[in-house]
Amino acid sequence: MAGSTPRLARDAFGTLPDGRAVERVVLRGAEGFEARIITFGAALQALIAPDAGGRCDDVVLGYDDLAGYLAERRMFGATVGRYANRIADARFALDGEIVQLTANNGPNALHGGPEGFDRRLWQIVDVDDGAEPAVTLAYTSADGEEGYPGRLDARLTWRLTGPTELSLEFTARTDRPTVVNLTHHSFFNLDGATAGHDILDHRLTVAATRFVAIDASAIPLPGPPRAVAGTPFDFQQASLIGARIRNDDAQLRHGRGYDHTFCLDSGGAPTFAARLEAPRSGRVLELLTDQPGLQVYSGNYLDGSIRGKAGRLYRQSDAICLEPQIWPNAPNRPDFPSPRLAPGDVYRHVTVYRFSKSERHALPG
């Protein structure tokens, strides 16, 4: 229709020190809903969603400009790879050979190493400005990058699959056996990234009866996952995030709060994994995924040293991450879901972020 707002827009978002340009793509839905993706780290730089009264706010933490993303690695809205979460001692055996990775979390490898996918410039390879606007980005990880074997060709498509619904789809292919575990790492605050409220009053539901217990270095303990029943990790029914986060519990001490993988029943298609509800704004986020785990991280290491959007200092529990993924340290745990990818096979990961409005809210006057 003549005069209507374009569903997709592209603009510049800065320049890397080596002169390469960083672009931003904006996908527009209904009621002011927008997803803004930058090519540095294939990151979700902003996600604008309406509240129960129709007011739109950005609901993910991050930075207003490229300089913030370059200055410090905080994973805001980032694409994480080649392996999300931790691999113990930065090494694993693959087809009888020991693979040595670059350690960056004490002796362990975390989020793909010191220069993971979140620190790379991705390329826009396709855009779709139709009824479901979308952008596809690509990155090729060289054989041996951060120690990982095999050239990996990764693609990520961000698409608006509903008026206020954002979907992502990862695919990856390799020329040698390797391990792959990609995820998205947005820090959500459904009251707004600059609202000044923490997320301890958000209500969380997680469709999991088990979680992966960790040691003090956040590596999974030996043995099977633990039952959530009777623990602070039971979110089978909607519960306030802050209700039990300061309980005297060894697992909460190890994570400094919630920083654990919840075990999902994935059946090959995206199914309901979690629901997050903010009583102040009335915003609701439902997450569906086809991955076997959901890392729930309550922003425990945000310490007030980070100056984010609108100059806000991000502090502990200012946001929560809900990261669909394979379980941590799975390359060393044959009893965990396998992250192995062979030549000729395709790694796939689909996650849906579905926003709505709650009838149970108390918007400020």
Structural contact between residues 207 and 264, judged by C-beta atoms closer than 8 angstroms: yes
3-state secondary structure of 118: helix
DSSP bridge partners of 179: 340
Pairing of the two strands 21-28 and 187-188: unpaired
Alpha-carbon distance of 274 to 28, in angstroms, equals 24
Question: Following CA atoms 157, 349, 90, 227 in sequence, which dihedral angle do they give, to the nearest 10 degrees?
Answer: 140
Alpha-carbon distance of 51 to 31, in angstroms, equals 10
Alpha-carbon distance of 357 to 54, in angstroms, equals 9
**Which position among 185, 202, 254, 349 bears the catalytic label?**
185
Interior CA angle at 157 toward 155 and 161, to 5°?
A: 160
Alpha-carbon distance of 205 to 241, in angstroms, equals 9
Q: Which residues of 122-161 are buried (b: 16+ CB within 10 A; e: fewer)?
A: beeeeebeeeebbbbbbbebeeebbbbbbbbebbbbbbbe
Distance of CA 249 to the CA centre of its chain: 26
**Which position among 184, 202, 323, 349 bears the catalytic label?**
323
Please confirm whether the linkage preceding 82 is cis (ω < 30° from 0). Answer: yes
Structural contact between residues 277 and 239, judged by C-beta atoms closer than 8 angstroms: no
Active site residue 323: yes
Alpha-carbon distance of 244 to 275, in angstroms, equals 18
Written as one string, the DSSP assignment of 132-164 is: S-EEEEEEEEPTTGGG--S-EEEEEEEEEEETT
3-state secondary structure of 351: strand
Could you list the active site residues?
185, 323
